[in-house]
Structure 1
Amino acid sequence: MFGFYRLAAVCPTLKVADTAFNTDEIIRLATEATQNEAAIVVFPELCITGYTCSDLFHQELLLEKSLDALKKIAAAFTDSDSVIAVGLPLRMFGSLYNCAAFVQRGKLVAVTPKTHLPNQREFYEKRHFSSGRDLLRGSLGNDAGFGAAAGLGTAGFGAAAGAVVCPIDGFGDVPVTNFFTVNAGKNGSEVRVGVELCEDLWTAVPPSGELALAGANVIVNLSASDALVGKCDYRRNLVMNQSARCMAAYVYASAGVHESTTDMVFSGHLMIAENGSMIAENKQFNRESEIVYADVDVERLNMQRLSEGSFQDFDSRNVYARAARFDGLRGIDTLKYRFVSPTPFVPGNIETRDKSSTEIFNIQCAGLAKRLEASHSARAVIGLSGGLDSTLALLVVAETFKLLKRPAKGILALTMPGFGTTKRTKNNAVTLAELLGVELRTVDIQKACLQHFEDIGHDPKKLDVTYENVQARERTQILMDIANSEGGIVIGTGDLSEIALGWSTYNADHMSMYAVNCDIPKTLVRHIVDWYADNSGNELKAVLKDILDTPVSPELLPADASGQIAQKTESILGAYEIHDFYLYHFAKYGAKPEKLLFLAKYAFAGKFSDDELKKALAVFVRRFFTQQFKRSCIPDGPKVGTISLSPRADWRMPSDSSFSDWL
């Protein structure tokens, strides 16, 4: 459902060279994984025999027992559509290969021989095995007497015309390949699997790079990587970086502590990464058999690749020519092994909070510094409401002036109280300006707005959109005119969430001369202001914390009888937390509304009801489509994250498109 598949990485207990013991344990663990709805189950390299058999690999008995074990494993899963990947030594074309074997529905779908054989220090694989490079390239072809089959059996398995096939006792002709395709599911989320074996990943040009460009969105690696000081972190980074580079899920299963310890120790490292993020990893050196699971989003990976030019420019015909095919894979409709963050824009790791917030803040400051210098602006003019967005913008301006070695008095903050301004926001604006040492001016807009109501014939008792927008445009007019008279530029305060929803008045707060918050959604604005507060002195921290606790409001409608904010944005639109969640998955991954709601139910379980999520989704879709005309002409501003709605950066959309299909 929605392109989710459960993957499993397994490290079994084993006895070196005891194929019977190892086979039983592999079957037991694979059965457990398949019963837990795992679509692909990956075991370590040479797990049927043990990686450390050394010269025993040249014993006829061990090779025969290995093949018998593979037959037993295949037979154990005759009725399962799960793919089981196991490692064993396998003779093909008169040579011995270190292979990954893939079984499904009782058949050997294909085998992948290892390409890069380590032969230094503690590893001497070339002593026992041949490289599968020529086999995978298909260079044997028909000249060697081995045909390329157009199809095998009747279960939907097949190898394309360019693949080498090898007759294997008990299985017939079997494709030799490191690339697999799967028939597309009902959501079009086709799975394509690429294969590496251990050392393949550590080379200068890992096979997974080409496989990913050809379409592989799941890379599996059967490995036997020994434990050395510092190697664990290096190995983890390799897997994460390769999954990011390939924009794929990467399943890594390595040999464990029950391998021979004659000269080295193995830790049983299990990892599953998705597009640069580690989503499942075990604690190493476990003496019991272990399985880690992850629910990966293949549909999301496929959609993200559509916008990546490097994935579109690659000629994948040669890779597809050697592909084998799995007979369909079972997707999942519940997520047990995937965390869905309710705040995807906000750094989730507390350890990296300071680093990420500092980097975001520095990007904002660097962008503004360049604009101030390039425009030869003497001053920065900003409307200060006492709300969250203008607070972050002022903090950025203040730090930028320090960066440029300019006095804080060069910053002109204007507080412009109107019909809905409350004492709380006004006092916070004044206090913030004083603590930052900027010049503060107050311009009351009520008299000018009443005059304008009279000029255009609007009844000031009619609290409609005109009533609100007159105030917003009056404030922008004041800012622009004062910036002209002071030789400065107006700093925009609107954030990415407001831009997405069109929650601004056209040609009012919609407009500025440089918008420092334009790529930062509301949830991230809150995060950065909170981070800044925690790193500030007591007085500044106190006012910032109070601003964080103030309801989000444009304050364009009169306060309630007690003088408190009556117009609360999130009561009208729905929680910004929900809208930011929808924006992230909609703009970045092209998720359908049904999938947005599916994910939101996991992310906000216990916090928002299904009705609240549905209502917010309808608001998001309607406003995102109908408010594009505002985004088509927004001011310049720095891109901070991977999502930008600037028509000059990441988002181009017709202003008059229909949203009916999305609702």
Structure 2
Amino acid sequence: MFGYVKIGAAVPQLKLADCISNKEEILKLIREANEKGIRVLTFPELALTGYTCGDLFFQLPLIQAAEQALKEIAAETAELDMVIAIGVPVMADNQTFNCVALLHQGRILGLVPKTFIPNYSEFYEERWFASAGDLISEEISYAGQMVPIGADLLFAADGIPFLKIGVEICEDLWVPIPPSSYQSLYGATLLLNASASNELAGKPQYRHQLVAQQSSRCLAAYVYAAAGIGESTQDAVFSGHSLICENGSLLCETESFSRESQLVAADIDLEVLANERRHHTTFMGQLSQPEAQRFYREIHFPMTESPLGKLDRHISPAPFTPDDAHLDARCQNIFQIQVTGLARRMEHAHANTLVIGISGGLDSTLALLVAAKACDYLGLSRDHVLGVTMPGFGTTDRTYNNALELMRSLGIQMKEISIKNAALQHFEDIEHDPEIHDVTYENTQARERTQILMDLANKTNGLVVGTGDLSELALGWATYNGDHMSMYGVNAGVPKTLVRVLVNWVAHSKEVDETASRILLDVLDTPISPELLPPDKDGKINQKTEDLVGPYELHDFFLFHILRFGFRPAKVLYLAEIAFDGSYDRETLLKWLKNFYRRFFVQQFKRSCLPDGPKVGALCLSPRSDWRMPSDAFNRVWMEEVEKL
């Protein structure tokens, strides 16, 4: 199952106070959910009676009808390996409680009463219901079973790792410290909220924020199932707006004001949640506070893993890149992080120039744009940027001309220094045949360029701005003490797929003029290459990086899921097959996945001594912040799993 569990939220067509009709509609949705493979299903608050029954909650026939309906639902679902959460009014200890009953294979696992009872504005619940804090009993006889009752219940699946369920009801979420906050600290990874939130102007947006934020704070999945339009419209209208979030992200939601019953489902990733909690060392810190001390009774139930069908969640092939809805704001934010980081470093070092090697490729282009903007940010003229193009044995006319034109269009200082003679002299000094195009041939050029930049920086009281990106650092695709080294690496936190997006964003923004925009678009269209081998017979690039190390879109995908979430090779492959369906076959994915693991381990020594550079996203490979790995670790565990795949 790779940690995935399919969960759902159901909004049944409601007939107010008609428990028999409501029972049938609930059973219909349960059967539909079972066909979809849903393992945990949540219904709204007081789903068996309706939330807006008012003083009918004082009527014993209604309370007893709800109990009988729940008993029949338990019997009807005895063969289903599904947890079903249904809102129901329950009498206990001379009071009535607004509860959620959890069912599994005919057993009522527990009854969780609402803790915070609203009694303001349109809400008048204290007239009918007591708070969970007023409960005396820990177990009651209900629907023919002895059932645990209380807000101190957590429900743990014995057969599915990390699946522990916490429950709260509507208003419980809207208070300063919801019960789910404590439930998550004590292990609940899935939080269920049976709600009857009425609809008001602007409330859907607030509800989105509330559920997403709580799922994020709790590092949990959160199901919010809300009462639909069948509720009374005497003084309020209910829309049935239900949603499922995971760690701050919306996975799915229902249509508001639907006249039909609705069922939405999503596969939550329990493995991600468990890994995030282990990674965030402050998550459990709250337990040291006296007010966080709680005692929860864990109710265990057997649940077997089932084969994964179609995954009910989107797997992006480009996890580092923003979606279209947030593209402009996200790119602006990332670009400004880079600009501010470089500007602050330049200011602190009292540097007069920013020295950059300009190749006409993607990475140096982005670094140049950042440097130019950093000067603008500091109120300096752009001639404080010294762009140096250093043609060598592999430089093509296309990249050479783009480098020159871009520097002119941005109004920076320009310098051209050929490295050919220096490299030939070095080959002679170390007795290397220049006709042998091996790693010595290539790295000589990279180190010669870095030496030039470093010496120019000394000469001009400047800083060498590094251009290498996060993807290259992951793969070790840099010459040690060559392009691997700089005085500040502005792209160190930006993966290759995001570099492309940022350059494209600048090309279509007001940051550059029409000439620069045209050049940027051509740079984007140029194959990625270090240009360290001679061009082909037509003068075109003869050394394409992605032919050698693999497509960057795959490596960025691997990088994200392996380092961000710690997924094993089998899960990474499973997700890649979904994300790149129709683009790469399994054999190709495995080829490059194996290459990623191989390179990632053997190239750690380059990452252990990286220059400073800004972190811009959730993932960074700096040895001073996010990634501390021994350079001599073995990759056997991972490689053996890849071989088995």
Query: What TM-score do the two structures reach when normalised by structure 1?
Result: 0.94
Per-residue CA shift, 1:75-132, capped at 9, x if unaligned? 1111111001000100122211000000001010011000000101111110000000
2:616, 2:158 → 1: CA distance?
A: 35
Residue of structure 2 in register with 1:333 after alignment: 308
Matched, 1:262 2:234: yes
* Deviation, structure 1 residue 314: 4.8
CA contact (8 A) 2:152 2:296 kept: no
Residue of structure 1 in register with 2:33 after alignment: 33
CA contact (8 A) 1:74 1:108 kept: yes
CA contact (8 A) 1:211 1:319 kept: no
How many matched pairs?
634
Q: Tell me the secondary structure at the aligned position of residue 241 of structure 1.
A: helix
Matched, 1:174 2:148: yes
1:578, 1:184 → 2: CA distance?
A: 36
CA contact (8 A) 2:154 2:296 kept: no
> Among 400, 404, 407, which residue is 1:430 paired with?
404
* Deviation, structure 1 residue 216: 1.1
Q: Tell me the secondary structure at the aligned position of residue 323 of structure 1.
A: strand
Q: Tell me the secondary structure at the aligned position of residue 256 of structure 1.
A: coil
2:470, 2:25 → 1: CA distance?
A: 53
Matched, 1:246 2:246: no
Residue of structure 1 in register with 2:618 after alignment: 642
- What one-letter code is carried by the residue in structure 2 that aligns with 1:198? C
Percent identity among equivalent residues?
Answer: 49
CA contact (8 A) 2:99 2:111 kept: yes
- What one-letter code is carried by the residue in structure 1 that aligns with 2:384? G
> Among 165, 181, 187, which residue is 2:139 paired with?
165
> Among 221, 231, 238, which residue is 2:193 paired with?
221
Counting only pairs closer than 5 Å after superposition, residues 173-322 of structure 1 correspond to structure 2 as 173-177=147-151, 179-183=153-157, 185=159, 189-315=161-287, 319=294, 321-322=296-297
Residue of structure 1 in register with 2:548 after alignment: 572
Residue of structure 2 in register with 1:398 after alignment: 372
Q: Tell me the secondary structure at the aligned position of residue 599 of structure 2.
A: helix
- What one-letter code is carried by the residue in structure 2 that aligns with 1:194? G
Matched, 1:533 2:507: yes
1:331, 1:237 → 2: CA distance?
A: 32
CA distance 1:323–1:134, change in 2 (3 Å): farther
CA contact (8 A) 1:272 1:278 kept: yes
- What one-letter code is carried by the residue in structure 1 that aligns with 2:177? V
Per-residue CA shift, 1:480-531, capped at 9, x if unaligned? 0010011101000000000111100001100000010000000000000000
Moved more, 232-241 or 314-323: 314-323
Counting only pairs closer than 5 Å after superposition, residues 462-481 of structure 1 correspond to structure 2 as 462-481=436-455
Query: What TM-score do the two structures reach when normalised by structure 2?
Result: 0.96
* Deviation, structure 1 residue 538: 2.0
1:312, 1:240 → 2: CA distance?
A: 20
CA contact (8 A) 2:9 2:43 kept: yes
Q: Tell me the secondary structure at the aligned position of residue 258 of structure 1.
A: coil
* Deviation, structure 1 residue 318: 6.0
Matched, 1:510 2:497: no
Per-residue CA shift, 1:403-442, capped at 9, x if unaligned? 1111111111000011111000000000000000111111
1:113, 1:321 → 2: CA distance?
A: 14
CA contact (8 A) 1:82 1:329 kept: no
CA distance 1:193–1:329, change in 2 (3 Å): farther
2:322, 2:114 → 1: CA distance?
A: 38
Q: Tell me the secondary structure at the aligned position of residue 247 of structure 1.
A: coil
Structure 2, gaps ≥5 residues long = 640-645
> Among 525, 528, 538, which residue is 1:552 paired with?
528
Counting only pairs closer than 5 Å after superposition, residues 583-622 of structure 1 correspond to structure 2 as 583-622=559-598
Per-residue CA shift, 1:620-652, capped at 9, x if unaligned? 111111111111100001111110100111110
CA contact (8 A) 1:39 1:330 kept: no
CA contact (8 A) 2:395 2:534 kept: yes
CA contact (8 A) 2:158 2:301 kept: no
* Deviation, structure 1 residue 331: 4.7
Root-mean-square deviation (CA, aligned residues, Å) is 1.4
CA contact (8 A) 1:496 1:520 kept: yes
- What one-letter code is carried by the residue in structure 1 that aligns with 2:232? S
Per-residue CA shift, 1:135-167, capped at 9, x if unaligned? 4xxxx4xxxxx5xxxxxxxxxxxxxxxxx2223
Residue of structure 1 in register with 2:642 after alignment: none
Q: Tell me the secondary structure at the aligned position of residue 208 of structure 1.
A: helix
- What one-letter code is carried by the residue in structure 1 that aligns with 2:533? L
Matched, 1:491 2:455: no
Matched, 1:21 2:13: no
Counting only pairs closer than 5 Å after superposition, residues 123-138 of structure 1 correspond to structure 2 as 123-135=123-135
- What one-letter code is carried by the residue in structure 1 that aligns with 2:360? G
CA contact (8 A) 2:153 2:297 kept: yes
Q: Tell me the secondary structure at the aligned position of residue 491 of structure 1.
A: strand
* Deviation, structure 1 residue 323: 1.9
- What one-letter code is carried by the residue in structure 2 that aligns with 1:76? E
- What one-letter code is carried by the residue in structure 2 that aligns with 1:615? K
Per-residue CA shift, 1:445-481, capped at 9, x if unaligned? 0111111111111111111111110000000000000
* Deviation, structure 1 residue 184: 5.3
Counting only pairs closer than 5 Å after superposition, residues 130-149 of structure 1 correspond to structure 2 as 130-135=130-135, 140=136
* Deviation, structure 1 residue 133: 2.4
- What one-letter code is carried by the residue in structure 2 that aligns with 1:419? F
CA contact (8 A) 1:97 1:129 kept: yes
Matched, 1:77 2:52: no
Matched, 1:362 2:339: no
Residue of structure 1 in register with 2:322 after alignment: 347
Q: Tell me the secondary structure at the aligned position of residue 612 of structure 2.
A: coil
- What one-letter code is carried by the residue in structure 2 that aligns with 1:587? L
* Deviation, structure 1 residue 304: 1.2
- What one-letter code is carried by the residue in structure 2 that aligns with 1:333? L
Residue of structure 2 in register with 1:386 after alignment: 360
* Deviation, structure 1 residue 326: 2.8
Q: Tell me the secondary structure at the aligned position of residue 429 of structure 1.
A: helix
Residue of structure 1 in register with 2:519 after alignment: 543
1:520, 1:181 → 2: CA distance?
A: 41
* Deviation, structure 1 residue 214: 1.4
CA contact (8 A) 2:111 2:147 kept: no
> Among 387, 391, 395, which residue is 1:417 paired with?
391
1:6, 1:252 → 2: CA distance?
A: 15
* Deviation, structure 1 residue 334: 2.9
* Deviation, structure 1 residue 12: 0.3
> Among 515, 520, 538, which residue is 2:494 paired with?
520
Matched, 1:54 2:28: no
CA contact (8 A) 1:177 1:322 kept: no
* Deviation, structure 1 residue 36: 1.0
- What one-letter code is carried by the residue in structure 1 that aligns with 2:235? D
Residue of structure 2 in register with 1:149 after alignment: none
Matched, 1:445 2:424: no
1:134, 1:258 → 2: CA distance?
A: 30
Residue of structure 2 in register with 1:154 after alignment: none
CA distance 1:327–1:576, change in 2 (3 Å): same
* Deviation, structure 1 residue 169: 4.3
CA contact (8 A) 1:37 1:332 kept: no
1:224, 1:518 → 2: CA distance?
A: 48
2:307, 2:544 → 1: CA distance?
A: 39
1:324, 1:661 → 2: CA distance?
A: 36
1:610, 1:341 → 2: CA distance?
A: 17
* Deviation, structure 1 residue 320: 5.9
